[in-house]
A = this chain, B = another copy of it.
Amino acid sequence: MATRWGICGAGRISHDFTVALKTLPAGDHQVVAVAARKLEGAQEFAKKHSISRAYGSYEELARDPDIDVVYIGVIHPYHHSACLLFTNAKKNVLCEKPLAMNSREVQEILASAKKNNVFLMEAVWTRFFPASVEIRRLLAQKELGDVKLVVVEFGAPLTYLVRSTKKELGAGTIIDIGVYCMQFISMVYNGEKPESIKATGICQQGIDETVGVVMKYSNDRLAVFTCSSVLELRNNAIIVGSKGTIKVPETVWSPTTLDVNGKVTQYPLPEPYLPLSYMNGTGMRYEAEEVRQCLLKGLKESAVMSHSDSVLLAGLEDEIRKQVGVVYSQDSK
């Protein structure tokens, strides 16, 4: 039986997610409804993607009895309220990253998911790419020996997006771009919390634009990352072990190429049926399939991107924001 999706938010990322869903078998994934703050937006989205139901409020989507799981693609500051709305309505949830603006909000979301006994996952799509699965396999089999260092660089000018220029809309590099670097490092270091974090950033009007971070882990392991939402960077990563090296040569947030000790392998993505908002958007198909598999098994969280992984990321984001001097209104609640 198909997993029946509801789409919350009719913006760019919801567009890509819906396109990605349609690269999967129709018998497995079905988009039942879309909701936006304005009915016209939802109707336009529904028409474009041939979705039968369009709602002008998230509450209507929450009340729809034919939805198995809601994809939340609204902007960051609304993740918290949307997650609470859908979990309280007993809907399973896949919510875009960052799961929320800070650790407090993340804890409240996870508590609500637990209380309501629903599945919930932060949509860290990167982790479900075949290239990421291969990285975890290589690490688990100790193909690199002991990992000593991870270096990640991700920067993309996002100032064309209104949400990336206004603090109240959740603008900020750490939670938007940096989260990809942190999730990569945290994946390699198996969900471990670093022993120390040192971060320095450049801010304009209280919004962090470019940030450099060095993190030390147990057993003499190091991680370094650079992220920016105003500069185009190389967007690559390297994992250096005592016996070998994995390089992600480009698009580290959506990896389709791996270089393992000099041997390069491609992991191509399917073509989209409509133009995408963001590069490699069809790669969201893998997280969607993960959600389906978890729901089929009755799981309430994914082992690959678990609740504690979200808690870890939010904690890193909070600490780095603190060091760089970035405060959101949500922090004072």
Contacts and interface: CB of A to CB of B under 8 A. Distances in A.
Interface stretch (A82-90, A128-136, A198-206, A268-276): A198-206
A231 interface: yes
Nearest to A194: B200
A222 interface: yes
A245 B153 CA distance: 15
B222 A233 contact: no
B226 A151 contact: yes
Contact of A202 (B155, B210, B222, B231): B222
Interface string A214-226: 1110001111101
B240 A222 contact: no
Given A196-B200, A222-B200, A224-B226, A234 B247 contact: yes
Contacts of A153: 151, 238
Contact of A226 (B149, B200, B204): B149
A185 to B, nearest CB: 12
B200 A149 contact: no
A260 to B, nearest CB: 14
Contacts of A200: 196, 198, 214-216, 222
B210 A212 contact: no
A224 B222 contact: no
Given A226-B149, A226-B151, A220 B202 contact: yes
B231 A240 contact: yes
Interface residues of A, number: 36
Contacts of A216: 200, 202
A213 interface: yes
Given A212-B222, A212-B224, A224-B224, A231 B149 contact: yes
B245 A238 contact: no
Given A214-B212, A224-B212, A226-B149, A240 B245 contact: no
B196 A198 contact: no
A102 interface: no
B233 A240 contact: yes
A231 to B, nearest CB: 5
A232 interface: yes
Contact of A228 (B149, B204, B212, B234): B149
A22 interface: no
A148 interface: yes
Contact of A214 (B151, B214, B232): B214
Nearest to A247: B234
Interface in A232-269: 232-234, 238, 240, 245, 247
Contact of A148 (B199, B210, B240): B210
A199 B214 contact: yes
Contacts of A155: 149, 240
Given A148-B202, A199-B214, A212-B224, 20 more contacts: A148-B210, A149-B155, A149-B226, A149-B228, A149-B231, A151-B153, A151-B233, A155-B240, A198-B198, A200-B216, A200-B222, A201-B222, A210-B222, A212-B214, A214-B214, A224-B226, A228-B240, A232-B240, A234-B238, A234-B247
